[in-house]
């Protein structure tokens, strides 16, 4: 798996944050040349995500480190499963343990939660997408975990998609004016616009918007927006989507459902690392 340079740098900063000028406990107790094997062990059920990043963590600390996975990302893990075996210098294992575990636990939590959302609407056409509500500096990894869980990625950042939101509309003056100005941009960029009323839905469609983001609309208004669009634009539902209402939202006929909770409210799963004697 390709890991961007910026992710490698983030992992280095994470290790620096934890180890500082060195792991003083390990340096006192363990000979520098000592080598060990360790197992990553699941303590509950979840969807696995993040092993490539874990391998990178230990490779930064020890260029000879080898992470041998017994399961691939996306696998359904059971309590007691040995997920992977790590062979490396003992110092590297102990120094990278917390950073590696924090990553795989969080990313697996995101993948697991995403998969629950996806499963709720698996027989309907709507797709579950993420948002930019990610942990600062962890966006690449968290969005990767969403895909592992069966979801889709929305735009990665401000630079790779035009999304006209409420504050843009406030400053510009109206949905109509905002879409007109946006269409003067790059001709290959699709234009998505956030709309709050059916009147704004009609304005955005008339001005040639490609995607409509229905912001906190009622289910009735969502259904009406889908009928107004008549397939001329993609329809995305957004705002206050949860596991209790995601199916009802999908049943309105929308094409996409963006869920900030996939990343900002995901739980971390329980995994341990144990050195094998």
Choose, from 43, 45, 165, 232, the residue flagged as catalytic. Answer: 165
State yes or no: is 81 an active-site residue: no
Choose, from 37, 98, 147, 181, the residue flagged as catalytic. Answer: 98
Choose, from 12, 132, 133, 176, the residue flagged as catalytic. Answer: 133
Choose, from 56, 81, 194, 203, the residue flagged as catalytic. Answer: 194
Q: What is the DSSP string of the chain?
A: ----HHHHHHHHHHHHHHHTT--HHHHHHS-TT-EEEEEEEESS-EE---HHHHHHHHHHH-TT-EEEESS-TT-EE-TT-EEEEEEEEHHHHHHHHHHHHHHHHHHHHHHHHHHHHHHHTTTSS-EEE--S---TT-HHHHHHHHHHTT-B---SSTTS-EEE-HHHHHHHSSHHHHHHHHTTS-TT--EEEEE-SHHHHHHHHHTT-SEEEEES--HHHHHHHHHHHTTSSEEEEESS--TTTHHHHHTTT-SEEE-THHHHSPPPP-EEEEEE-
State yes or no: is 223 an active-site residue: no
Choose, from 142, 192, 200, 215, the residue flagged as catalytic. Answer: 215
State yes or no: is 215 an active-site residue: yes
Question: What is the set of active-site residues?
Answer: 98, 133, 165, 194, 215
């Amino acid at each position: 798996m390709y890991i961007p340079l910026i992710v490698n740098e983030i992992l280095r900063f994470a290790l620096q944050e934890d180890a500082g000028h060195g792991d003083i406990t390990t340096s006192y107790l363990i000979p520098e040349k000592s080598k060990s094997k360790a197992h990553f062990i699941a303590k509950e059920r979840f969807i696995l995500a993040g092993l490539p990043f874990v391998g990178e963590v230990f490779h930064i600390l020890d260029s000879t480190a080898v992470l041998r996975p017994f399961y691939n990302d996306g696998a359904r893990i059971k309590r007691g499963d040995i997920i992977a075996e790590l062979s490396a210098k003992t110092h590297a294992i102990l120094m990278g343990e917390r950073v590696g575990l924090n990553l795989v636990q969080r990313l697996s939590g995101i993948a697991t939660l995403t998969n629950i959302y996806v499963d709720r609407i698996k027989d309907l056409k709507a797709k579950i997408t993420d948002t930019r509500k990610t942990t600062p500096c962890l966006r690449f990894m968290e969005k990767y975990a969403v895909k592992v869980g069966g979801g889709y990625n929305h735009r990665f950042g401000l630079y790779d998609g035009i999304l006209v939101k409420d504050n843009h509309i406030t400053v510009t003056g109206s949905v109509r004016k905002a879409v007109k100005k946006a269409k003067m941009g790059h001709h290959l960029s699709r234009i998505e616009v956030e709309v709050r009323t059916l009147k704004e839905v009609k304005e955005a469609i008339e001005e040639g918007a490609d995607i409509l983001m229905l912001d906190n609309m009622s289910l009735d208004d969502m259904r009406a927006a889908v009928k107004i669009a008549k397939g001329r634009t993609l329809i995305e539902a957004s705002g206050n989507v949860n596991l209790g209402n995601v199916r009802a939202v999908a049943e309105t006929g929308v094409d996409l459902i963006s869920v900030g909770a996939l990343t900002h409210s995901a739980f971390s799963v329980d995994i341990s690392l144990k050195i094998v004697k």
